Amino acid sequence: MKIYLGFDDTDTPESDRGTGKLARWFENEIPQQCRMLGVVRQQLLVHDDIPYTSHNSAACAVIEAADASLLEKIIGLAVRHVEKYYLEGSDPGVCAVREGDSALNTLTNFGRDCTCKVMSQKEALRAARSIYLSGHGGTNGGIIGAAAAVGLTAAGWCGRFIEFGRLRELPDRMTVNQLEALGILVISLDQDASVPNPAEVVITNGWVRPRMLGHKPVLPVLPAASSEKGVWENIGRRRHRKKR
């Protein structure tokens, strides 16, 4: 079964790491009976009335667990992980729920609202009233993003993977077949919706961050700018972390 574990607001503008990195580090903390399936970044509303560090994103770890009883252990480990690595001046929050929980529909709707409205802690607590949600410092404002990240990720059609296997070790050029062997589906966004051939090449630009579509990692590509036949190019690009 899957467990969705959301983190938000664990960093500060001066830090050398963001919440996504903290979420990725949690792979080293999970029980042996579990496996990290990936970490998904969710983009929330950027607005002057919302305090955020750089881009107002939150992260959700997707963990495969042997059984539902491991949820409580994972929550305890996640809380200790945040309390160990969060930075003073941040407002961290943690949210956790197992797949199939009846509260997920409400949490998904809350997450969608967080992409277009200014939401409050009170609304986050109401949406997550039957599941785990906690703050761990400062104003505890991170509970909003943590709950939103879980709701959006559990829906399966939002966000991008910032960890899936070993994304940061992939080369600049790979075949479609090589990417799909890793579990990353390659789809074309060209006008004709062409189907990339397994033997064709994808220029990754050294930055593979698949989108979450249908609960799966999907890499959108376009025909290469060079017009080289049988060559595709990843539409994603590395973006430097902004300071506020």
Residues 131 and 176 in one domain: no
φ and ψ of 229, to 5 deg: -65, 135
d(CA 135, CA 10): 10
**What does pTM read for this prediction?**
0.92
Q: What pLDDT is recorded for position 244?
A: 44
d(CA 59, CA 4): 10
Decide if 244 is inside a domain: no
Q: State the total domains in the chain.
A: 2
Q: What pLDDT is recorded for position 136?
A: 94
Q: What pLDDT is recorded for position 31?
A: 92
Residues 29 and 79 in one domain: yes
| Residue 161 parent element (H or E) | strand 160-163
10 near 24, Cβ under 8 Å?
no
DSSP string, 113-148: HHTTS---HHHHHHHTTTSEEEE-STT-THHHHHHH
Q: What is the tens place of the pLDDT at every residue in 156-206?
A: 999 999 999 999 999 999 999 999 999 999 999 999 999 999 999 999 988
Domain of 119, CATH number, reads 3.30.70.2200
Q: Which of 101, 132, 161 is the last residue of a domain?
A: 161
Q: What is the tens place of the pLDDT at every residue in 16-36?
A: 778 999 999 999 999 999 999
Q: What pLDDT is recorded for position 243?
A: 47
Q: What pLDDT is recorded for position 201?
A: 97
Q: Which of 146, 161, 176 is the last residue of a domain?
A: 161
The dihedral region occupied by 135, where left means phi > 0, alpha psi between -120 and 50, and beta the remainder, is beta
Q: What pLDDT is recorded for position 54?
A: 67
The dihedral region occupied by 123, where left means phi > 0, alpha psi between -120 and 50, and beta the remainder, is alpha
Token pair in block for residue 92: 């961290």
Decide if 239 is inside a domain: no
φ and ψ of 96, to 5 deg: -145, 140
d(CA 81, CA 21): 12
User: Residue 198 is part of which domain span?
Assistant: 167-234
Return the SS3 of 65.
strand
Local confidence pLDDT in tens for the 244 residues of the chain: 999 999 998 777 777 778 999 999 999 999 999 999 999 999 999 887 777 666 789 999 999 999 989 999 999 999 999 999 988 888 999 999 999 999 999 999 999 999 999 999 999 999 999 999 999 988 999 999 999 999 999 999 999 999 999 999 999 999 999 999 999 999 999 999 999 999 999 999 889 999 999 999 999 999 998 878 899 999 987 765 554 4
Q: What pLDDT is recorded for position 242?
A: 52
Token pair in block for residue 198: 């397994």
